[in-house]
Amino acid sequence: MLTRWWGSRPAAARDREFALVFTVLSFVAPLSRIGAQFGGLPTHGTSVASVLLTLGQTLPLAVRTRWPAACLAVTGASFAVYECLGLPPTFGSLGLYIALYSAGAHQDRFRHVVPLAATGGYVVFGVALYALDSPEDLTDCLLYYLVLAVVWGLGVLVRGRREQEAERRRLSAQVAIGAERSRLARELHDVVTHHVTAMVVQAGAAQYLAESPDRLHEALDAINGTGRHALAELRFLLGVLEATGDSAPRERTPLPGRVPDLVEQTRAGGQPVELVEDGEQSAMAVGAQLTAYRVVQESLTNAVKYAAGRPTLVRLAHTPGWTDVEVTTAGTADGALVSAALPGGGPYVSGGRGLAGLRERVEMLGGEFAAGPRPQGGFRVHARIPSGGAA
């Protein structure tokens, strides 16, 4: 609980509190006499200078993550002067190690300049000790420099791991965004292609029913219902696109419609469709239900486009753990692909996204998908979908 609370606080606040506690500990016995010491010069008693220089090694830690280079500069200079004056050991001298680690872990600008400047400062420190007749020789200076370099290196290592984790999260976010865009593109394709095609076909047929008011009224009702279905699904998708953060819907998968309603809607547009359902449907995950619905929807859309007026059969076979969806459409007399969605029944040019999207949907759930022309003519789409599949 305490660790979670500490980690949730802003970095600046944590640094200030740490620096305050560290400063207090530097003047509390017995810790006040424990600390780093280098130079071997004769030790003098406690004085005002020792107090001020100790504060110079502890208080700068309050900005160790915000301005790590400045923190290291003040802390290192205070440490060097403290040792050159031969003042008694202090717990605050450990602030040099903390400042070095912080500079390695948090310095953003001039990351390659700071260690060079610190090395230059250490050389000046060594020359000053030599001028003051310090008993430390060159080997001692090099060993102490290696200790300081290791502390710096630990900070650099932590920084590298933090950057790798940030990059991993960024790439994961990009993959998630790409997957979401692909999913929304499939949904938009299914919604727009099916409903708009149905409305165009129904509107094209309605112009020939001016002399039959009853049938014209039914055709207009069918167009109205198709448009309402399209608006409802598009509103959901727009809500997903606009939702961000905590306002995003918890369930981002649209609830599927009912296959019988879809068949009836297509039949109302003039396409002869028959629905056969074998077995009882077991509990299916929303993703599996939506996939089965989209398979039927896309297949009926293609039937309206390519073989308007030709008999179409939709068969659903439910078994424990699986649902088989099969849609077969009879071919035209000459086998040509024509479309009632275009004036004069001209050739329909497809973008090819529908069946590819269906295959991707089904295979993502661990199912099987096949689509192609039948030997006796027409077209067949078959999908075997696991009931427990999740989108």
- pLDDT tens sequence across 260-285: 888 887 787 777 888 988 887 777 77
**pLDDT at 344 (0 to 100):** 42
Q: Is the pLDDT of residue 252 over 60?
A: no
Q: Count Cα atoms within 13 angstroms, Cβ side, for 243.
A: 14
Model confidence at 53, in pLDDT bands (50, 70, 90)? very high
Q: Is the pLDDT of residue 346 over 70?
A: no
**pLDDT at 68 (0 to 100):** 92
- pTM comes to 0.56
Region of poorest pLDDT, from 7-11, 70-74, 91-95, 353-357? 353-357
Which tens digit of pLDDT belongs to each residue from 85-95? Answer: 888 888 988 99
**pLDDT at 143 (0 to 100):** 92
Model confidence at 245, in pLDDT bands (50, 70, 90)? very low
Q: Is the pLDDT of residue 237 over 50?
A: yes
Q: For 327, list phi and psi in degrees, rounded to 5.
A: -125, 120
CA dist 170 and 1 (Å) reads 29
Model confidence at 382, in pLDDT bands (50, 70, 90)? very high
Region of poorest pLDDT, from 185-194, 270-279, 308-317? 185-194
Give me the percent of the chain exceeding a pLDDT of 70: 78
**pLDDT at 343 (0 to 100):** 39
The answer to whether 84 touches 48, Cβ cutoff 8 Å, is: no
**Residues 6 or more apart from 158 whose CB is under 8 A from it?**
104, 105
CA dist 88 and 44 (Å) reads 6
Packing angle, helices 48-58 and 68-84, rounded to 10: 150
Packing angle, helices 138-206 and 353-364, rounded to 10: 130
Region of poorest pLDDT, from 21-35, 203-217, 271-285, 346-360? 346-360
Give me the percent of the chain exceeding a pLDDT of 90: 20
**pLDDT at 350 (0 to 100):** 40
Q: Per the structure block, which two tokens stand in for 169?
A: 């999260």
CA dist 179 and 325 (Å) reads 25
Q: Is the pLDDT of residue 215 over 70?
A: no
Q: Per the structure block, which two tokens stand in for 100?
A: 């070095």
CA dist 321 and 288 (Å) reads 11
Q: Is the pLDDT of residue 101 over 90?
A: yes
Q: Is the pLDDT of residue 351 over 80?
A: no
**pLDDT (mean) for 103-109:** 88
For residue 237, with 0-12 CB atoms within 10 Å meaning exposed, 13-18 middle and 19 or more buried, which class applies?
A: middle
More confident call, 212 vs 312? 312
